[in-house]
Amino acid sequence: MSRPPIRAYIGLGANLGDSAATLRRVLAELQDTPGVAAVTASPFYRSAPVDATGPDFVNAVAALDTVLPPLALLDVLQALENQHGRLRPYRNAPRTLDLDLLLHGDARLDHERLTLPHPRMHLRAFVLLPLRDLAPTLALGGKPIGEWIEAIQDQAIERITDWNVDE
């Protein structure tokens, strides 16, 4: 008996190399992942690093339908990060690719490897704005996404309108 697919949301970011091209590639790779279907991406955004230094990030959020349980999906995301040269020399280091599992249906999980929903997504414009593009009626912690966005208006972020931008 197969389980029905669950809607998951993935935060994507990169600030080393050709970030926009990396995000486009990883979205295609997610679409080709067994157990993952119907990958839809938000527009890309440019944002300054949070609690870090380095070049601006290119960020997006992807919605996907998956039959993979949360930790198995996390394994897929971390394997993709590694394939794209992700290094972790120190906390919040610049990165070629950062993939965060934000939501996995209505799952609540407090595991040493993964907390769901993502514990800081409601504090970050680079997550909330692209997430709203995909799920404008989504509520986080019982509050509409728009209310969370009102609270982070001081964070610098811009929608990228030139899809051929070189990062």
Give the active site residue among 100, 110, 132, 154: 100
DSSP secondary structure, 73-88, as one string: HHHHHHHHHHHTT---
Average pLDDT for residues 85-112, to the nearest whole number? 91
Cβ neighbours of 134 (radius 10 Å)? 17
User: pLDDT tens-digit profile of 36-63?
Assistant: 999 999 999 999 988 777 899 999 999 9
Q: Give a yes or no: residue 1 inside a domain.
A: no
Residues 6+ apart with CB under 8 A from 115: 109
- Flag the least confident range among 75-79, 87-91, 147-151: 87-91
Active site (annotated) includes residue 95: yes
> With 50 as the cut, is the pLDDT of residue 70 above it?
yes
User: pLDDT tens-digit profile of 130-158?
Assistant: 999 999 999 999 999 999 999 999 999 99
Q: Give a yes or no: residue 74 inside a domain.
A: yes
Q: Give a yes or no: residue 95 inside a domain.
A: yes
CA distance 44 to 108: 28
- At 163 the pLDDT is 54
> With 60 as the cut, is the pLDDT of residue 1 above it?
no
Number of H helices, E strands in the chain: 4, 10
- At 90 the pLDDT is 79
Active site (annotated) includes residue 166: no
- At 77 the pLDDT is 98
Res. 88 pLDDT band, cuts 50 70 90: confident
Give the active site residue among 86, 88, 132, 133: 86
Give the active site residue among 46, 98, 124, 132: 98
- Domain membership of residue 15 as a residue range: 6-159
Q: Give a yes or no: residue 165 inside a domain.
A: no
Res. 101 pLDDT band, cuts 50 70 90: very high
Q: 97 vs 15, 77, 145, 152, 161, CA distance in Å?
A: 8, 10, 25, 24, 21
> With 70 as the cut, is the pLDDT of residue 166 above it?
no
**Phi (first) and psi of residue 58, to 5 degrees:** -105, 125
> With 80 as the cut, is the pLDDT of residue 97 above it?
yes
Active site (annotated) includes residue 100: yes
CA distance 141 to 134: 18
Q: How does DSSP classify residue 128?
A: H
What CATH number is given to the structural domain containing 37? 3.30.70.560
Active site (annotated) includes residue 86: yes
User: How many independent structural domains does the chain possess?
Assistant: 1
Q: Give a yes or no: residue 166 inside a domain.
A: no
Instruction: List the structure tokens of 155.
Output: 């964070």
> With 80 as the cut, is the pLDDT of residue 129 above it?
yes
CA distance 141 to 122: 9
State the maximum Cα–Cα separation within the chain, in Å, rounded to a whole number. 48
Give the active site residue among 46, 95, 124, 132: 95
Q: Give a yes or no: residue 167 inside a domain.
A: no
